[in-house]
């Protein structure tokens, strides 16, 4: 190993393709979809679905082949690769570029998304094939994750949604309400998708009783009760879902149904998905920040203002200093994110690095986009340009997938060696 920042050629090529998608199916529709909040990004979905469904088909094919081999009594060994995976590095750069295009539209990604991550992480091969096949063929389908409830935001252990097992019908019965579910409406009502719903099977057991359940479109007792109106990322479908005696098959629980009082894997499983999702949210934040910095530099250049890197501090204008600070913050966020992603690809535990990246990217993007509006003056404030929208879009990154405060708390606990009870 050596310290190295070289992005592999296949990711650079992928970036050109993703940028084309951003330029043709996202940017031209940004304003229109922002002003018509609950409209859907058809062009984007049509452009991405063939690519994403083909990816899902190929991954399912491998799972099927492995399962069949095992059923025939053959031992399968994962092929040892010479070089570490670049799967997450590629994903990070794709998410960054799509968010550079438009973050609200990006979030309407027609794929299993976070729901898929949970199934991939904890599901059995049979569950993967049964639940994920819909994402590999036919019309566009969405997956989603429902964790947050009206009284359980950052404190996910406080969820109230219950799952009770009906021995007679061999079904789980879900009751409760989930809010702020990204693409939940697309998954349940506008396609044959699914939502991973976190519910407790034993209220007295706390975190250990929390389990992920797969709720498929068309399940009776499940209703999308509200589509939120938001500050930014308006093209993204954010919904509340109610569960009234919603019955799902016994096999739609992911992972064990035992309540483990110590080291309960249910809650830990939920937390582990953050190790991958937080760096990707950071990547998304960076996409908006980069779009904003590029736009500011372009507009300043049109006014004859350039950024003289290397000039002494006392010879820079305030605006030049601001822009350099924005660029530095963007670079800092990008590199912290790439570090956390690199650990993921090497399958090395990364919760500290993931939270560091998320905090930095969230704060940097919030500050960069707000500063961009300020630097561009009146025009920055108009809805003629997209910069005011990017400021609104950027703001979510300090909130979802763990607020800046929650992630700072995680960093603090890790560097101080404190448990949850020692540093609350």
Partner 1 sequence: MVSFIPTEDQQLLIDTINRYATADIRKTAHEHDEKSEPDLDTIRKGWQIGLIPASIPETIGGFGEMSAVTSALASEELAFGELSTALHIMTPALFAYPLVLYGTEDQQAQYIEMFLDEDIAPATAALLEPGIGFDPHDMKTTATTNGDTVSLNGTKAFVPLAESAEVILVYAKDSESGDVSAYIVETSADGITIEKREQLLGIRALPTYRVNFTNVSVSATAKIAIDYPVILNRMRLGLASMAVGVARASHEYAVDYAKGRVQFGRAIAQNQSIAFMLAEGRIDIDAARLMIWEAAWKIDRGEEATREAVLAKQFADKMVLQVTDSGVQTLGGYGFIREYPAERWLRNGRGFPTFDGLTII
**Interacting residues with partner 1 (CB under 8 A):** 1-8, 83-84, 86, 89, 309-315, 324-325, 327-329, 331-333, 335-336, 338-339, 342, 356, 359-360, 408-409, 411-413, 415-418, 422-423
Q: Catalytic amino acids? A: 401
Contact 241, 223 (CB under 8 A): yes
Query: What is the helix (H) or strand (E) element at residue 198, kind and residue range?
Result: strand 194-200
CA distance 189 to 36: 19
Of 60 and 399, nearer to partner 1 (C-beta) is 399
Of 62 and 80, nearer to partner 1 (C-beta) is 80
Token pair belonging to 202: 């034993």
Q: How far is the CB of 330 from partner 1 (least distance, A)?
A: 9
- Using alpha carbons, list the distances in angstroms from residue 285 to 298, 345, 358, 390, 420: 20, 20, 9, 10, 28
- Using alpha carbons, list the distances in angstroms from residue 112 to 93, 198, 307, 419: 19, 16, 43, 34
Q: In 250-285, which positions are buried (b, 16+ CB within 10 angstroms) versus exposed (e)?
A: eebbbbeeebeeeebbbbebbebbbbbbbbbbbbbb
Contact 234, 37 (CB under 8 A): yes
| DSSP SS3 for 391 | helix
Of 64 and 339, nearer to partner 1 (C-beta) is 339
Q: How far is the CB of 95 from partner 1 (least distance, A)?
A: 16
Of 208 and 336, nearer to partner 1 (C-beta) is 336
φ/ψ of residue 244, rounded to 5: -120, 100
Query: What is the helix (H) or strand (E) element at residue 343, kind and residue range?
Result: helix 318-345
Q: How far is the CB of 332 from partner 1 (least distance, A)?
A: 4
Measured N-to-C along each axis, helices 125-132 and 42-71 cross at an angle, to the nearest 10 degrees, of 150
φ/ψ of residue 239, rounded to 5: -130, 165
Q: How far is the CB of 153 from partner 1 (least distance, A)?
A: 17
CA distance 419 to 424: 8
- Using alpha carbons, list the distances in angstroms from residue 258 to 171, 210, 266: 16, 10, 9
Q: How far is the CB of 1 from partner 1 (least distance, A)?
A: 4
| Residue 253 DSSP symbol | B
Of 84 and 377, nearer to partner 1 (C-beta) is 84
Token pair belonging to 178: 């989930």
Contact 356, 412 (CB under 8 A): no
């Amino acid at each position: 190993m050596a310290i190295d920042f070289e992005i592999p050629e296949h990711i650079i090529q992928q970036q050109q393709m993703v940028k084309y998608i951003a330029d043709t199916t996202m940017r031209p529709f940004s304003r229109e979809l922002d002003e018509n909040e609950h409209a859907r990004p058809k062009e984007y979905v049509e452009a991405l679905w063939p690519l994403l469904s083909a990816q899902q088909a190929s991954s399912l094919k491998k799972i099927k082949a492995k399962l069949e081999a095992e059923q025939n009594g053959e031992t399968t060994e994962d092929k040892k690769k010479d070089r570490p995976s670049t799967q997450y590095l590629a994903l990070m750069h794709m998410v960054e570029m799509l968010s550079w295009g438009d973050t609200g539209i990006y979030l309407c990604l027609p794929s299993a998304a976070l729901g898929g991550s949970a199934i991939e992480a904890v599901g059995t091969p049979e569950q993967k094939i049964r639940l994920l096949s819909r994402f590999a063929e036919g019309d566009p389908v969405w997956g989603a994750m429902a964790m947050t409830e009206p009284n359980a935001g950052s404190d996910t252990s406080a969820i109230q949604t219950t799952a009770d097992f009906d021995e007679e019908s061999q079904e789980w019965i879900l009751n409760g309400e989930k809010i702020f579910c990204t693409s939940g409406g697309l998954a349940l009502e506008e396609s044959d998708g699914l939502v991973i719903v976190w519910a407790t099977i034993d209220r007295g057991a706390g975190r250990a009783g929390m389990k992920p359940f797969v709720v498929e479109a068309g399940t009776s007792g499940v209703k999308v009760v509200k589509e939120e109106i938001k500050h930014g990322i308006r093209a993204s479908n954010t919904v509340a879902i109610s569960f009234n005696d919603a019955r799902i098959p016994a096999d739609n629980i992911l992972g064990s149904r035992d309540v483990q009082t110590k080291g309960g894997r249910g809650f830990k499983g939920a937390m582990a998905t953050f190790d991958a999702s937080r760096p990707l949210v950071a990547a998304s934040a960076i996409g908006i920040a980069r779009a904003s910095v590029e736009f500011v530099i372009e507009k300043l250049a049109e006014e004859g203002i350039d950024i003289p890197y290397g000039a002494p501090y006392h010879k820079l204008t305030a605006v030049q200093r601001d822009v350099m600070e924005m660029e530095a913050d963007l670079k800092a966020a990008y590199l912290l994110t790439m570090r956390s992603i690199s650990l993921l690809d090497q399958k090395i535990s990364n919760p500290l690095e993931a939270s560091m990246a998320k905090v930095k990217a969230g704060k940097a993007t919030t500050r960069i986009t707000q500063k961009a509006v300020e630097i561009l003056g009146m025009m920055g404030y108009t809805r003629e340009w997209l910069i005011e929208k990017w400021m609104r879009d950027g703001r979510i990154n300090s909130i979802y997938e763990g607020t800046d405060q929650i992630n700072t708390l995680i960093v603090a606990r890790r560097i101080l060696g404190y448990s949850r009870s020692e540093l609350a």
